[in-house]
């Protein structure tokens, strides 16, 4: 018999709207013997069945909902159905790339489960107690759907600590090379799936790389937080005169240099600078250095709501510095991947930076995450990547 979790009176509204999270503060009591990751039925205070999810006793997010269908069993077939359904929604992407996000956690009905495909290798992140509990079922489903693919688990994100789970990296099936080569819009990239950021590559920026590169022809480009240099490859391929990759990670810069060579581009047209971005932008300002196109794609600044004000100061600071380095008619492409930072607030921060820089700023395009990172209508938290292409006359 499935254990039950009963909500306090009036706390069922979000589940009735099919939001997949239940916080500890919403729970009045639970019955039955519960272990981390166990499947539980969530009930309203009057006994109505609301959903079926995974129990996470160490997290403030105490239950993540697997299903809102009372007759749906959380078994092998369940994970097979969900992964297969998610994969069908990505079928058109294979016309442009051999790498995409196959499963986007809550937005594909699998909380805590992220699965990225790089050619013939799948990279999984199992970041919740429920996902960790059902590792064998997820692996079974993946091997059934993708029998020729190697499978690597990269469950090394800090969020696992909140679930009371240790970081974990392991090969689940097959042989996983140190570096994989993928293609995207006719360009090629080396991906470090074992040690690189996230699962090795920022798939969510796929469309934005094309959109930003459309402004690069003939320009001198500063690519901040460049990681493995994908933006630089796109810009050089689009005719950029010169690109500087700026990042704190020397291995990422080395990979960026290899990606330039991999695409037959002029390596002399790209400088790779190992430095702190904030400090280097200030150094450029002191030197009077200027650029025609500046790309800001920083890591997440907001870990929780308490950090929001501090994060806004960081975003404003970096955009202010960038605007002070832009030549007249320069282009700023600026991003935030902080899900807790609302889009309108991000736009205000950029506008405030322009005001302090005494530069008029035109917003040319709003940018977002690629379509293999969908946003579920009942889960707005799935919308996290925000970007702007701006012109500073």
pLDDT of residue 311: 87
Q: Which of 72, 5, 18 is nearest to 44 (CA)?
A: 5
Summarize the confidence of residues 25-39 as an average pLDDT: 92
Q: Over 90: is that where the pLDDT of 100 sits? A: yes
Summarize the confidence of residues 317-329 as an average pLDDT: 98
pLDDT band at 72 (very low <50, low <70, confident <90, very high): very high
pLDDT of residue 301: 86
Q: Over 80: is that where the pLDDT of 12 sits? A: yes
pLDDT band at 307 (very low <50, low <70, confident <90, very high): confident
49 touches 43 (CB < 8 A): yes
Cα–chain center distance at 149? 23
**Residue from 117, 224, 337, 390 carrying the catalytic annotation:** 337
pLDDT of residue 151: 98
What is the token pair recorded at 112?
Answer: 């805590």
Summarize the confidence of residues 146-173 as an average pLDDT: 96
Domains along the chain with CATH numbers? 3-67 (2.30.130.10), 76-173 (3.30.750.80), 202-392 (3.40.50.150)
Q: Over 80: is that where the pLDDT of 320 sits? A: yes
pLDDT of residue 31: 78
Q: Cα separations (Å) of 123 from 29, 59, 116, 210, 324?
A: 37, 25, 5, 24, 40
Q: Over 80: is that where the pLDDT of 304 sits? A: no
pLDDT in tens, 357-374: 999 999 999 999 999 999
pLDDT of residue 303: 75
**Which segment of 88-92, 308-312, 348-352 scores lowest on mean pLDDT?**
308-312
What is the token pair recorded at 280?
Answer: 């280097």
Q: How many CB atoms are located within 10 Å of the residue 174 CB? A: 15
pLDDT in tens, 48-60: 999 999 999 999 9
Higher pLDDT residue, 31 or 165? 165
Q: Over 80: is that where the pLDDT of 1 sits? A: no
Q: Specify whether 390 is catalytic.
A: no
- Whole-number mean pLDDT of the chain? 96
pLDDT of residue 269: 98
**Which segment of 153-167, 277-291, 294-308, 348-362 scores lowest on mean pLDDT?**
294-308
pLDDT of residue 36: 96
Q: Over 90: is that where the pLDDT of 302 sits? A: no
Q: Over 90: is that where the pLDDT of 263 sits? A: yes
What is the token pair recorded at 68?
Answer: 């809102």
Summarize the confidence of residues 86-110 as an average pLDDT: 97
Q: Over 90: is that where the pLDDT of 32 sits? A: no
Summarize the confidence of residues 325-345 as an average pLDDT: 96
């Amino acid at each position: 018999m499935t254990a039950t979790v009963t909500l306090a009176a009036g706390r069922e509204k979000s589940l009735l709207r099919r939001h997949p999270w239940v916080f500890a503060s919403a729970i009045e009591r639970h019955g039955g013997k519960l272990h981390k990751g166990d499947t539980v039925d969530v009930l309203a205070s009057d006994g109505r069945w609301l959903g079926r999810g995974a129990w996470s006793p160490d997290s403030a997010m105490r239950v993540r909902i697997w299903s809102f269908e009372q007759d749906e069993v959380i078994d092998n077939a369940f994970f097979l159905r969900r992964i297969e359904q998610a994969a069908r929604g990505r079928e058109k992407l294979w016309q442009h790339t051999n790498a995409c996000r196959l499963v986007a956690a809550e937005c594909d009905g699998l909380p805590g489960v992220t699965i990225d495909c790089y050619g013939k290798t799948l990279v999984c992140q199992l970041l919740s107690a429920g996902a960790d509990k059902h590792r064998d079922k997820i692996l079974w489903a993946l091997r059934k759907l993708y029998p020729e693919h190697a499978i690597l688990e990269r469950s090394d994100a800090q969020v696992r600590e909140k679930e009371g789970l240790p970081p974990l990296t392991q090969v689940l099936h097959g042989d996983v090379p140190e570096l994989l080569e993928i293609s995207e819009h006719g360009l090629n990239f080396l991906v470090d799936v074992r040690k690189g950021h996230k699962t090795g590559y920022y798939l969510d920026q796929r469309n934005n790389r094309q959109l930003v590169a459309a402004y690069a022809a003939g320009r001198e480009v500063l690519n901040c937080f460049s990681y493995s240099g994908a933006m630089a490859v796109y810009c050089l391929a689009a005719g950029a005169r010169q690109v500087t990759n700026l990042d704190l990670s020397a291995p990422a810069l080395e990979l960026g240099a290899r990606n330039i060579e991999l695409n037959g581009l002029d390596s002399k047209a790209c400088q790779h600078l190992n430095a702190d971005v904030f400090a280097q932008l200030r150094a450029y300002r002191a030197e009077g250095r200027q650029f025609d196109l500046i790309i800001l794609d920083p890591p997440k600044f907001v870990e929780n709501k308490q950090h929001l004000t501090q994060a806004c100061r960081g975003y404003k600071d970096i955009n202010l510095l960038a605007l002070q380095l832009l030549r007249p008619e320069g282009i700023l492409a600026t991003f935030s991947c902080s899900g807790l930072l609302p889009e309108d607030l991000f736009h205000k921060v950029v506008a405030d930076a322009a005001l302090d820089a005494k530069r008029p700023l035109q917003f040319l395009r709003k940018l977002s995450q690629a379509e293999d990172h969908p946003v579920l209508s009942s889960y707005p938290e799935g919308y996290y990547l925000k970007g702007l292409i701006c012109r500073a006359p």
